Amino acid sequence: MKEIILIKNGELALKGLNRSTFEAVMIKRIRRSMKSCGECDIRKAQSVIYIEPKDDSFDIDRAEMLVSKVFGIAGYSRAAVCKKDMSDICSVAKEFLSETLSTAKTFKVEGKRGDKSFPLTSPELSAELGGYLLSCYGHLKVDVKNPEVTVVCEIRDNAAYVRAGQKKGAGGIPVGTGGKAAILISGGIDSPVAAWMMAKRGVELSAIHFASPPFTSPLAEQKVKELLSKVALYAGQMPLFTVHFTEIQKRIGESCPEEFFTIIMRRFMMRISQRIAADHRCQALITGESLGQVASQTIGGLVCTDAVCNMPVFRPLIGMDKNEIVSISQKIDTFDISIRPYEDCCTVFTPKHPKTKPKLYDIEKAEAVLDIDALVEEAVQTARFEIIE
Ligand code: ATP
Ligand code: MG
């Protein structure tokens, strides 16, 4: 039995003139992610995108998993390909839908005759296939108003397709239609979720991670790469820049009041990140901050951090509760990696009594003893680069 995947656009439908560009970007995304599944044809006809395997070696389970993660897709389904003849349609439908129909109680059939040369009309097609499936699965009942399973049989120009309902796609808009931004990624729960949320709005990502060896372990860096690989299933491959942060943290620790440590450190992170971001054509930074979570994430804290930024900082989690963030991290499969217990650079030097209402003037005065430009320059120049797939 030959199977294909059918895809329906999502929000794309709403975007007027942009629609064709968005659709082209989405198809490019689909094409790229299908490369790891084998050889297939991808084509569009009447607003449906078809993925057709070229041979049996195509991994259609993996293809379905990857399609479920492409932003811009509203719904998708697997369909069986049949000859345009009723006896083939019936026998293929019986076999292809056996699991679904054995466990369902009610169903209906929607026949759609696209090819008008097919001898049965749409209602006749529905009635004939429905009658046949009833005779095969004796426990089933027809319910045209509210069926558990809707069997769709479409007669198109080159073949007939049978499928059961449609699964919900990832939604959002295709990655690459929303510009580029750099996610500041730690090993925590929040930043991978923030990355995913912005990718869902079409933003192409670069990632920046601050590591402080030997205080932070190589396992912490490994964890960040694994988190980004999970995000990359949705966002596509992305560059990761790892910044050596040890020297800067030490200098802050030696020369600045302990209560300001976190805010001053975060200001360095922003300065370094926006340099790297701008060098790689990113127009904004993204962080996983959520208001009130910790001392540096009060409005006062954010004012002090943003004072050094000359590009927008997106904080998609700003108004979310921890449990809402956790539930997304579980959905995108990053949670179990995030809770592995390795030290992050932020926890290494955490002050006992951080200032919750820092004054910008005090912070600026406290950090003025450091050669900020030189420290930033050194960090930017020595950042390591790799590609995460
Ligand atoms: P997360 O769960 O993402 O670590 P958090 O709630 O622990 O977030 P903080 O540790 O205060 O919050 O960090 C706030 C944000 O700063 C993070 O979401 C991330 O965007 C950025 N950040 C923190 N540590 C690092 C790091 N080592 N490298 C890159 N970015 C970082
Ligand atoms: Mg953290």
What DSSP assignment string belongs to 48-89?
A: EEEEEESSTTS-HHHHHHHHTT-TTEEEEEEEEEE-SSHHHH
CATH number of 274's domain = 3.40.50.620
CA–centroid distance, residue 191 to ligand 1 (Å): 6
Tell me: do 155 and 231 sit in the same domain. Answer: no
Question: How much is the pLDDT for 11?
Answer: 58
Tell me: do 221 and 265 sit in the same domain. Answer: yes
Tell me: do 149 and 268 sit in the same domain. Answer: no
List all residues 6 or more positions away from 181 whose beta carbon is below 8 Å from its beta carbon.
198, 203, 204, 205, 206, 277, 282, 283, 284, 285, 286, 314
Site to probe by mutation for ligand 1, drawn from 196, 291, 346 as the one with most ligand atoms within 8 Å of Cβ, is: 346
CATH number of 135's domain = 3.30.2130.30
Which ligand has the nearest atom to the CA of 224?
1
Domain containing 39: what range?
3-168
Tell me: do 212 and 136 sit in the same domain. Answer: no
- Does some domain include residue 324? yes
Question: How much is the pLDDT for 357?
Answer: 78
Tens of each residue's pLDDT in the chain, 389 residues? 899 999 987 655 555 667 788 889 999 999 999 999 999 999 998 788 999 999 999 999 999 999 999 999 999 999 999 999 999 999 999 999 999 999 999 999 999 999 999 999 999 999 999 999 999 999 999 999 999 999 999 999 889 999 998 899 999 999 999 999 999 999 999 999 999 999 999 999 999 999 999 988 899 999 999 999 999 999 999 999 999 999 999 999 999 999 999 999 999 999 999 999 999 999 999 999 999 867 778 899 999 999 999 999 999 999 999 999 999 999 999 999 999 987 776 666 677 777 777 899 999 999 999 999 999 999 999 999 999 99
Question: How much is the pLDDT for 17?
Answer: 61
CA–centroid distance, residue 187 to ligand 2 (Å): 6
Tell me: do 197 and 136 sit in the same domain. Answer: no
Tell me: do 149 and 184 sit in the same domain. Answer: no
Tell me: do 141 and 273 sit in the same domain. Answer: no
- Does some domain include residue 173? no
CA–centroid distance, residue 344 to ligand 2 (Å): 7
- Does some domain include residue 61? yes
Tell me: do 53 and 159 sit in the same domain. Answer: yes
Q: Which residue's C-alpha comes closest to atom 14 of ligand 1? A: 289
Domain boundary among 114, 142, 168: 168
Give the total number of structural domains in the chain.
Answer: 2
Domain boundary among 168, 200, 232: 168
Domain boundary among 116, 136, 168: 168
Tell me: do 147 and 207 sit in the same domain. Answer: no
Question: How much is the pLDDT for 170?
Answer: 95
- Does some domain include residue 249? yes
SS3 of residue 154 by DSSP:
strand
Note if the pTM is more than 0.85: yes
Question: How much is the pLDDT for 347?
Answer: 65
Site to probe by mutation for ligand 1, drawn from 186, 287, 320, 349 as the one with most ligand atoms within 8 Å of Cβ, is: 186
Which ligand has the nearest atom to the CA of 294?
1
- Does some domain include residue 267? yes
Q: Which residue's C-alpha comes closest to atom 4 of ligand 1? A: 188
User: Do β-strands 40-45 and 73-82 pair in parallel, antiparallel, or remain unpaired?
Assistant: unpaired
Q: Which atom of ligand 1 is nearest to the CA of 192?
A: 3
- Does some domain include residue 187? yes
CA–centroid distance, residue 193 to ligand 2 (Å): 12
Tell me: do 137 and 247 sit in the same domain. Answer: no
- Does some domain include residue 86? yes
Q: Which residue's C-alpha comes closest to atom 16 of ligand 1? A: 287
List all residues 6 or more positions away from 219 whose beta carbon is below 8 Å from its beta carbon.
340, 342
Question: How much is the pLDDT for 346?
Answer: 64
The residue whose two tokens read 């320059």 is 377
Tell me: do 118 and 199 sit in the same domain. Answer: no
Ligand 1: residues whose CB is within 6 Å? 184-186, 188-191, 208-210, 287-289, 293-294, 296, 344-346
- For 289-337, give the DSSP string: --TTSSGGGSHHHHHHHHTT-SS-EE-TTTT--HHHHHHHHHHTT-HHH
Which ligand has the nearest atom to the CA of 184?
1
Q: Which atom of ligand 1 is nearest to the CA of 243?
A: 28
Q: Which residue's C-alpha comes closest to atom 17 of ligand 1? A: 288
Question: How much is the pLDDT for 368?
Answer: 96
Tell me: do 32 and 159 sit in the same domain. Answer: yes
Q: Which residue's C-alpha comes closest to atom 20 of ligand 1? A: 287
